[in-house]
Amino acid sequence: MSTKEIETNAIKMVAAGKGILAADESDGTIKKRFDSINISSTEENRRSYRELLFTTKGVEEFISGVILFDETIRQSAKDGTPFPTLLAGLGILPGIKVDKGAKPLAGAPGETVTEGLDGLRDRLKEYYDLGARFTKWRGVINIGEGLPTPYAIETNTHALARYAALSQEASLVPIVEPEVLMDGSHSIETCYEASEATFKCIFEELSKQRVLLEGMILKPNMILSGKDCSSRAGVEEVAEQTLHCLKATVPDGVTGIAFLSGGQTDEEATAHLNAMNAAGPHPWELSFSYGRALQAPALKAWVGESDNVSNAQKVFYHRAKCNGAARSGSYSAEMEKEVAAA
């Protein structure tokens, strides 16, 4: 393990004004996204779409790292440049999703555990050699009647910590992603309770498994009302509750927190991050690691047509710029009009 390398890269990942693009959609997820614009999820279409994102002019101003999928880290741009090399040339750190997805947790109806620890040490070495400098693993926590159970929280956080320790051993920065889902009609208070229990447990496990806090990034959910809640909390309340939860659970030694968007609209995810940074300073950098909330407008603008690449890149750059501004609390709703006027 190169402690200096992982600490340096963790700092780069949450550099001022920048965040992480999650482009690690599994085969099933990217198919759903492509279905929504009526194009086939072929290897070439996936490659072309990722190249559109990665070659957007100026995107390195706001993107510090990109999480890749196993297929994508092995792909190249049209000119033959491997994607990890292309990104590194822009000063963007290539990363890799290493988990194998959430599967039903034995003895716990309605709950899951993320798999992928078997053979992980060897896969991490290969990914490092392919150019990856950080990793990602997602643990999923469901809210429901009697859920989450302590069993599901403990099982998922134990796996997250094992993954993190193995990543650091391989000189890779682990993104530790415990996601309390916003699916359901629960209140923001219920989300807070489930998130607080999960975040406390993850740091207990990370400590037990000797994970270096200065060489990791936390990727948590924000504290939100359920998607189907009849009275959803507003921006200021989300920011306040999220900061309160993090301050109660996350040690100051953690380099940065890069939120997932988790079902929020593009503009909601940006506004919530902005409100939290406007209330700073905080012990850690508060950044973003968004997938759909960064990509959705670009995907809609592209619809698989090469003639639309330029316009799709324009809207992707705009979304990245808005989130870059939210990193310092300087985003405003007025910024949303810029892309329409351009």
CB 6 within 8 A of CB 172: yes
Tokens 């682990």, residue located: 174
In this structure, the strands spanning 173-180 and 256-259 are: unpaired
Position 2 confidence tier, pLDDT thresholds 50, 70, 90: confident
Is residue 169 flagged as an active site residue?
no
25 is catalytic: no
Catalytic residue selected from 111, 177, 179, 285: 177
Per-residue burial over 194-231, b if 16 or more Cβ lie within 10 Å, else e, is bbbbbbbbbbebbeebebbbebbbbbbbbbbbbeebee
Backbone angles phi, psi at 172, to 5 degrees: -115, 140
Read off the pLDDT of residues 130-141 as tens digits, 9 standing for 90 and up.
Answer: 999 999 999 999
CATH for 3-341 is: 3.20.20.70
CA distance 264 to 116: 27
pLDDT digits (tens, 9 = 90+) for 283-331: 999 999 999 999 999 999 999 999 999 999 999 999 999 999 999 999 9
Integer angstrom CA distances of residue 190 from 76, 235, 264: 44, 17, 17
Residue 283, helix vs strand vs coil: coil
Closest of 109, 261, 99 to residue 179, by C-alpha: 261
Tally the C-alpha atoms within 13 A of residue 9's C-alpha that lie toward its C-beta: 25
Cα distances from 157 to residues 99, 163, 197, 276, 295, in angstroms, run 13, 10, 11, 25, 28
> What local confidence, expressed as pLDDT, does residue 1 receive?
78
Which tens digit of pLDDT belongs to each residue from 190-208? 999 999 999 999 999 999 9
Opening angle at CA 48, ends 46 and 84, nearest 5? 85
Residue of 18, 97, 136, 219 marked catalytic: 219
What's the average model confidence in pLDDT over 152-166?
98
Question: SS3 for 175-199, per residue?
Answer: EEEEEECCCCCCCHHHHHHHHHHHH
Cα distances (Å, whole numbers) of residue 92 to 50, 232, 288, 306, 312:
14, 36, 15, 25, 20
pLDDT by residue (tens digit) across 168-195?
A: 999 999 999 999 999 999 999 999 999 9
Q: What is the DSSP string of 8-47?
A: HHHHHHT-TT-EEEEE---HHHHHHHHHTTT----HHHHH
- pTM of the predicted protein model: 0.97
